[in-house]
Amino acid sequence: MTQGELIADAPQRRFNPLKGEWVLVSPHRSKRPWQGRTETQEDTERPAYDPQCYLCAGNARSSGATNPNYSGPFVFDNDFPALLSDTQEGKTRHPLFRAENVQGTARVMCYSERHDLTLPELSQTDIRAVVDVWAEQIVELGAYWHWVAVFENKGELMGCSQPHPHGQIWASNFIPNEVATEDARQKEWLESNGRVLLVDYAAEEAKRGDRTVVENDDWIVVVPWWATWPFETLMLPRRHVLRLPDLTEAERTSLAEILKRLTIAYDNLFLTEFPYTMGWHGAPTKAGDHGHWQLHAHFYPPLLRSATVRKFMVGFEMLAEAQRDLTPESAAARLRDLPGVHYKSGSGG
């Protein structure tokens, strides 16, 4: 069989240069009937303040600590942290049973005092305040730790047990697997091409346009060429930026705008509070040359066909490699064509 141009609607593998992995794409399977598991739609009316909520302003948390009567973003040390700052150093010696003790800290960040407003329902001004606190936390924790993770698990489908809109900030004395992989691949690209991988990628996606979801002068959001999750997106600054604290005032404001537009599109897709895991990847705060890095955010949502049908990573995905049915181009088009006003509001916030 002779090799020609890629057949867009036929089974194919796409390469992820950021991770050095392949993804199997099977566009012909998107029309198959679904008789599998369906989820309960999560949306319920929540009050602006819930006296039983551990995260609402002025309430007692499960640890016994009391939240201040805060307004806007509120950060506190996690009452049940996954990392501890005072762990003693130690390690195993056997090559088949390697382990080492690690140190770090974990914090919780409430986006606002409002129990009922998720990120897309906040005003752009309030989202800008969230961006500023993210940056402040990276500066503060990055002075002591090698890596600072800023992320959000939104919705019960993503394991979130607390309905008050919030994210998390973990800092560690080690570089986690996903970050180490991205570090190596970006460094390799710079050494081979003399340019920054994700700066090149953002520019090329901007020219092509078929995977772009939303964009403005400073930012572009795409369903990446190598997307694994059905409506996965990648958020990128257009210029070379290492970390969130390095953004200019204008870029922070435009980031708030692009975050609102993207998350409104997500919610409007299936008329639900769209679940996802979102996280920022920037250069490690560990000392060293990190010029090969480019700031970016990953959004990994599980929903596939509706608010109640999700994508499962099982079988071939667990035992071989990631696989998707919906092409990134069609996913981007569906998100791109949605109204810019949140489905719960006639004003758009």
Question: What is the distance between the alpha carbons of residues 225 and 49, in angstroms, rounded to a whole number?
Answer: 41
Q: E strands within the chain?
A: 12-16, 21-25, 74-77, 104-110, 147-154, 166-172, 212-215, 219-222, 233-237, 276-281, 296-300, 303-306, 309-310, 323-324
In this structure, are strands 323-324 and 21-25 parallel, antiparallel, or unpaired?
Answer: parallel
Residue positions annotated with a catalytic role: 166
Instruction: List, in order, residues 6 or more apart from 309 with CB less than 8 Å away.
Output: 34, 36, 37, 38, 39, 303
Which tokens hold the place of 299?
């959004």
Answer whether 291's CB lies under 8 Å from 314's CB: no
Angle in degrees, CA 282, 284, 286, rounded to 5:
160
Question: What is the distance between the alpha carbons of residues 148 and 142, in angstroms, rounded to a whole number?
Answer: 6
Sign of the torsion angle spanned by Cα atoms 172, 173, 176, 182: positive
H or E, element range at 139: helix 124-142
Question: What is the distance between the alpha carbons of residues 292 and 232, in angstroms, rounded to a whole number?
Answer: 24
Comparing C-alpha atoms, which of 329, 332, 275 is closest to residue 303? 275
Estimate the share of the chain in helix, then strand, then coil, as percent rounded to the nearest 5: 30, 20, 50
